[in-house]
Amino acid sequence: MISIHPAQLQDWLQQAATKAPGVEPVVLDVREPWELQTASVKPDGFELRHMPMRSVPARYLELDRHQPIACLCHHGARSAQVVHFLMQNGFTEVVNIHGGINAWSHERDPGVPVY
């Protein structure tokens, strides 16, 4: 499994654009709805999708297997599990955002609340 830090997201987005021109990458936020209301990221060069981890097994077919996906949670553990699940189900361009939204706040956007 590949993990990237939030500070590396821009590089990952550029690599994704090279591998799949014209395909918008996705940041898949797998946190619970209350967490999303507490703190969220702003889409910037990617599509932001919300799919709580517990719903992924029932909903993963809503995702495009060829679309680059970076999974995000609070600290990176749930998103790592989702990355593993997606890879087992044929997704090839999927990475984990190490440190989750907590690291996002410290490395990428201090305006994102820490909880």
Q: Is pLDDT at 43 greater than 90 in this prediction?
A: yes
Domains, the chain, in order of start with CATH, read: 3-107 (3.40.250.10)
Structure tokens given for 65: 């297997």
pLDDT at residue 20, rounded to an integer: 86
Burial of 115 per CB tally in 10 Å (0-12, 13-18, 19+): exposed
pLDDT at residue 76, rounded to an integer: 97
Beta strand pairing call for 3-4 and 47-50? unpaired
pTM (global) more than 0.75: yes
In the block, tokens 């889409």 appear at 43
pLDDT at residue 1, rounded to an integer: 87
Q: What is the pLDDT of residues 17-28, one digit of tens each?
A: 998 899 999 999
